[in-house]
């Protein structure tokens, strides 16, 4: 048996514990909770309430179908080209830029989360 085996086993156990604890804290962070709070199908009013009530969400822009330019995306951030059917709310949440697309019936139809 290798004399370093117990030491290596202890290091692996410590790394496993650190990894699990990191994942738990990451999953319960305010940012992750906010990114999961709004789902496709939720009403626009639920989105507005989340934006107004959270200190972690910063509304960047709102574009309506009739008042946007061809390039309504936030410069320097990842985006997905998509037509605005009714309205889009662009929000900064921590290190993410989130696009909430609202359909003609006033519900969230699509969510895009992009990094910088």
Q: What is the DSSP string of 7-26?
A: HHHHHHHHHHHHHHHHHHHH
Pair 105, 90: CB distance under 8 Å: no
Calculated CA dihedral for residues 43, 46, 52, 56, nearest 10 degrees: -100
Task: Report how far Cα 86 is from the mean position of its chain's Cα atoms.
Answer: 21
Q: Taking residues 8-18, what's their average pLDDT?
A: 75
- Please tell me the predicted confidence (pLDDT) of residue 7: 72
Q: Taking residues 51-79, what's their average pLDDT?
A: 87
The tally of domains found in the chain comes to: 1
- Please tell me the predicted confidence (pLDDT) of residue 10: 76
Name the token pair of 95. Answer: 């290190």
Q: Whose structure tokens read 């004399």?
A: 3
The domain containing residue 43 runs over which residues? 5-114
Q: Which residue has the higher pLDDT, 55 or 30?
A: 55
């Amino acid at each position: 048996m290798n004399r370093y085996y117990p030491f290596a086993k202890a290091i692996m156990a410590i790394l496993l514990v650190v990894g699990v604890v990191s994942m738990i804290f990451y999953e319960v962070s305010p940012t992750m909770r906010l990114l999961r709070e709004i789902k496709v199908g939720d009403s626009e009013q639920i989105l507005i309430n989340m934006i107004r009530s959270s200190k972690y969400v910063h509304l960047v822009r709102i574009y309506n179908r009739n008042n946007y330019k061809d390039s309504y995306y936030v410069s320097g951030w990842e985006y997905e080209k998509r037509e605005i059917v009714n309205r889009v709310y662009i929000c900064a949440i921590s290190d993410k830029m989130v696009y909430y697309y609202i359909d003609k019936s006033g519900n969230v139809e699509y969510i895009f989360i992009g990094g910088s």
